[in-house]
Amino acid sequence: MSTSTKRIAIAMMALSLMAACGGGSDASSAGPPGAPTLEKESAGGGEGSKAKLLTEADVTLGDIDAGMAEKGKTTYDVKCQACHSMGENRVVGPGWKGVTTRRKPEWIMNMIVNTDAMLAEDPEAQRQLEQCLVRMPNQNLSMEEARQVLEFMRTL
């Protein structure tokens, strides 16, 4: 660094001290040094992590509805089957046979529609991730589609 540049740097440091201690300056200079002026911008990503999870009361089961289950199977073929078998064995994720006896309906629904929130917060979901090591993708199913998939699971 040349001598002249040093001087400028020192001058700048002194100035920033003055500004910090100046008092009475407008609010925009009150933030920490280097704070951007874009607080209104939300951080990207992580969407869904604040999603409200479904509770027991949100999912009611009756007798198995064959029509719903059939629609669930159609969605399964396109969006789920690549990773979940209809048997007991794990492919990428767990096999679905008997899943509705192992997991509560609202837990299953939350894994489908609130995937990121579950992986962030739910200990059981996290334990499963430790086994599978592939984050379950959020396949963006609607609530209705997810409910149909749940119905299909009940037939397995």
Residues from 75 through 94 that contact another protein (CB under 8 A): 77-79, 81-83, 85-92
DSSP the chain: --HHHHHHHHHHHHHHHHHHH--S--GGG-SPTT--S-TTSPPSS-TTTTPPPP-GGG----S--HHHHHHHHHHIIIIITTT--SSSS-SSS---TTHHHHS-HHHHHHHHHSHHHHHHH-HHHHHHHHHH-SPPP-----HHHHHHHHHHHHT-
Position 27 contacts another protein (CB under 8 A): no
Position 22 contacts another protein (CB under 8 A): yes
Mask: binding to another protein, 98-127, rule CB under 8 A, as x and -?
------------------------------
User: Least distance from C-beta 49 to another protein, angstroms?
Assistant: 13
- The end-to-end CA distance of the chain, in Å, is 73
Position 20 contacts another protein (CB under 8 A): no
User: Least distance from C-beta 46 to another protein, angstroms?
Assistant: 9
26 vs 63 by CB, closer to another protein: 26
Position 29 contacts another protein (CB under 8 A): yes
Assess contact for 150 and 108: CB atoms under 8 A: yes
- How many CA atoms lie less than 13 Å away from 57 in the CB half-sphere? 0
Size of the site for another protein (CB under 8 A): 48
39 vs 63 by CB, closer to another protein: 39
**What residue ranges bind another protein (CB under 8 A)?**
5, 8, 11-12, 15-16, 18-19, 22, 25-26, 28-29, 33-38, 41-45, 77-79, 81-83, 85-92, 95, 97, 133-135, 137-141
